[in-house]
């Protein structure tokens, strides 16, 4: 049988077909083995310099969970400092870029990011954010929508800050409370503080301000107080604003405390806050669950733990009460 008769018989046709199928399968199999792994893209909205190390904690824990930067994950870290226009611009960019997840902090940045991601498939994990009175989530157990995160236990910390100030300065009966005017978390903190202050016979004097210039004028308008208490909000941890507070307190020989900060030789005497590195690690564990397919809104919100830092040297200079009972509560003592 010659070649033409062979192919005409149909046997050659089916043999060629079989060879093509086998070769095609091998090529497809080989391509599958060489396919690039999924590379997750995470947008980070870092909205407060004071807690920017949250990003470091987040990345560190993501690495522990198997996400290697440059191999199977990339980060677009956008940093600003209490700038509402910047928050909106950054959040909208992340949504337009269709990132796989957004990490945002603190409260106001997270509220902007929530608004930007509503109606999209972009999940949001927040950190260092209040959930009381700001409608960030539906509830702790079921945050809802495309959002979950690490709650900043603000009302609890506000009362703890007041209690520590009372231990350091038990004779203080008037405390100034400066804060960023209109900041969303202030009301929830003051709601907890007023009953505690009333029970202790302490008068709280609210000092809202828009910036350090406004704050300086507002402070100078006050009668001489006994102490200055910080809330969890952005103004008092802004270096320029704290310098104003530090000078005001130093000129009057009174303590300022709540968040631990030092600027231009002025120091607060203590801070009650959360460990931002640990908080970032908590956020990473939530992000991992989201990236692995769990709906963000079904993952319960977790709370960061607070810790106490005392600037022993600054408190001692002011002659404050530094008994062993108080010092034993401190996680960190700066001498």
Q: For 21-59, what is each residue's pLDDT tens digit?
A: 444 554 444 444 456 789 999 999 999 999 999 999 999
Q: Is residue 28 part of a domain?
A: no
Give the residue among 269, 224, 263, 223 at the shortest CA–CA distance from 244: 263
One domain for residues 131 and 172: no
One domain for residues 72 and 190: no
Alpha carbon of residue 13 to chain centroid = 67
CA dist list (Å): 133 to 81, 86, 107, 323: 22, 24, 11, 37
Q: Is residue 34 part of a domain?
A: no
One domain for residues 218 and 230: yes
Q: Is residue 4 part of a domain?
A: no
Q: Rounded to an integer, what distance in angstroms lies between the CA atom of residue 258 and that of residue 246? A: 13
Sequence-distant (≥ 6) Cβ neighbours of residue 230 within 8 angstroms: 161, 177, 178, 236, 237, 256, 257, 258, 259, 268
Q: Is residue 18 part of a domain?
A: no
Strand pairing partners for 204? 175
One domain for residues 83 and 110: yes
Sequence-distant (≥ 6) Cβ neighbours of residue 248 within 8 angstroms: 216, 219, 220, 228
Query: Helix or strand or coil: residue 309?
Result: strand
Residue 175 sits at φ, ψ, to 5 deg, of -125, 130
Q: Give the per-residue pLDDT at 226.
A: 98
One domain for residues 140 and 57: yes
Alpha carbon of residue 303 to chain centroid = 11
Residue 132 DSSP one-character state: T
One domain for residues 185 and 145: no
Q: Which range marks the domain in which residue 217 is found?
A: 155-274+308-334
One domain for residues 236 and 92: no
One domain for residues 289 and 253: no
> In the chain, which stretches have pLDDT less than 70?
1-35
Q: Is residue 9 part of a domain?
A: no
Q: Rounded to an integer, what distance in angstroms lies between the CA atom of residue 274 and that of residue 286? A: 18
Q: Is residue 8 part of a domain?
A: no
CATH (domain of 266): 3.40.50.2300
Contact status, residue 151 vs residue 129, Cβ threshold 8 Å? yes
One domain for residues 114 and 142: yes
Residue 104 sits at φ, ψ, to 5 deg, of -135, 150
One domain for residues 281 and 269: no
Query: Helix or strand or coil: residue 59?
Result: helix
Q: Give the per-residue pLDDT at 36.
A: 73
One domain for residues 214 and 199: yes
**pTM summary value:** 0.83
Half-sphere exposure of 210 (CA within 13 A, CB side): 2
Q: Is residue 238 part of a domain?
A: yes
Q: Is residue 283 part of a domain?
A: yes
Total number of domains in the chain:
2
One domain for residues 212 and 229: yes
């Amino acid at each position: 049988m010659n070649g033409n008769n062979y192919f005409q018989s149909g046997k050659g046709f089916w043999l060629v077909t079989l060879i093509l199928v086998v070769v095609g399968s091998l090529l497809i199999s080989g391509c599958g083995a060489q396919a690039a792994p999924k590379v997750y893209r995470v947008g980070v909205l870092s909205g407060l310099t004071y807690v920017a190390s949250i990003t470091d904690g987040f990345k560190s824990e993501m690495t522990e969970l198997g996400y290697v930067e440059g191999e199977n994950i990339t980060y677009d870290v956008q940093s600003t400092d209490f700038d509402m226009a910047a928050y909106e611009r950054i959040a909208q960019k992340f949504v337009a870029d269709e990132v796989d997840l957004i990490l945002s902090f603190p409260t106001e940045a997270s509220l902007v990011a929530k608004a930007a991601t509503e109606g999209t498939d972009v999940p949001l994990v927040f950190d260092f954010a209040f959930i009381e009175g700001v409608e960030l989530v539906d509830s702790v157990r079921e945050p809802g929508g495309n959002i979950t995160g690490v709650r900043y236990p603000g009302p609890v910390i506000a009362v703890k800050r007041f209690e520590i100030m009372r231990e350091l300065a038990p004779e203080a009966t008037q405390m100034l409370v400066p804060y960023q005017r209109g900041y969303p978390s202030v009301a929830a903190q003051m709601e907890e503080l007023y009953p505690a202050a009333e029970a202790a016979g302490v008068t709280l004097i609210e000092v809202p301000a828009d910036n350090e210039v406004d704050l300086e004028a507002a402070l100078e308008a006050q009668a001489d107080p006994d102490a200055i208490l910080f809330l969890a909000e952005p103004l008092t941890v802004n270096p320029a604003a704290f310098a104003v507070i530090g000078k005001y307190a130093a000129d009057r020989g009174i303590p300022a405390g709540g968040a631990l900060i030092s600027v231009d030789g002025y120091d607060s005497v203590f801070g009650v806050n959360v460990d931002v590195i640990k908080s970032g690690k908590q956020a990473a564990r939530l992000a991992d669950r989201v990236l692995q397919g769990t709906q963000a809104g079904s993952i319960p919100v977790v709370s960061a733990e607070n810790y106490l830092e005392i600037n022993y040297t600054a408190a001692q200079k002011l002659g404050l009460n530094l008994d062993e009972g108080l010092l034993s509560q401190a996680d960190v003592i700066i001498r």
